[in-house]
């Protein structure tokens, strides 16, 4: 039986990737240039990588938040989206992620990749 969370607030699929879960690296702000209308322009990575993983045992919003926070802490990760219904976790990053680091982050959150 897969591990489950004791928090029973699972009543819908959850999109976790809202602004509080996104990493903000202030060192990237150094590349800002002003426009005449006052808008700032950020430099954008040359490419974006999407990795989708199936995670076992996610049953509630607390699970999704824990997984999101740990994965968002990995280097180069710009967004994490969790679907509780399917167990799918989509990680958006500016560079390749190593599978052992993803697995380690999930373990810290109390979860693992599905078989």
pLDDT in tens, 14-70: 444 444 444 444 444 444 445 555 566 555 556 899 999 999 999 999 999 999 999
- Other CB atoms closer than 10 Å to residue 83's CB: what's the count? 18
Q: Which CATH architecture has domain 19-113?
A: 2-Layer Sandwich (3.30)
**Tokens matching residue 30:** 């150094």
Q: How far apart are CA 82 and CA 75, in angstroms?
A: 18
Distance of CA 107 to the CA centre of its chain: 14
- Other CB atoms closer than 10 Å to residue 4's CB: what's the count? 16
Contact between 48 and 87 (Cβ < 8 Å)? no
Q: Tell me the pLDDT tens digit for each residue of 58-103.
A: 999 999 999 999 999 999 999 999 999 999 999 999 999 999 999 9
């Amino acid at each position: 039986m897969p591990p489950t969370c004791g928090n029973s607030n699972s009543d819908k699929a959850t999109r976790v990737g809202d602004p509080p879960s996104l990493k903000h690296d202030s060192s990237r702000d150094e590349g800002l240039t002003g426009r005449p209308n006052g808008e700032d322009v950020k430099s954008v990575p040359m490419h974006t990588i999407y990795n989708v993983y199936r995670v076992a045992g996610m049953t509630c919003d607390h699970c999704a938040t824990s997984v999101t926070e740990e994965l968002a802490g990995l280097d180069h990760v710009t967004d994490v989206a969790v679907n509780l219904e399917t167990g799918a976790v989509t990680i958006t990053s500016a560079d390749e992620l190593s599978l052992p680091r993803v697995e380690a982050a999930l373990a810290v959150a109390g979860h693992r990749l599905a078989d």
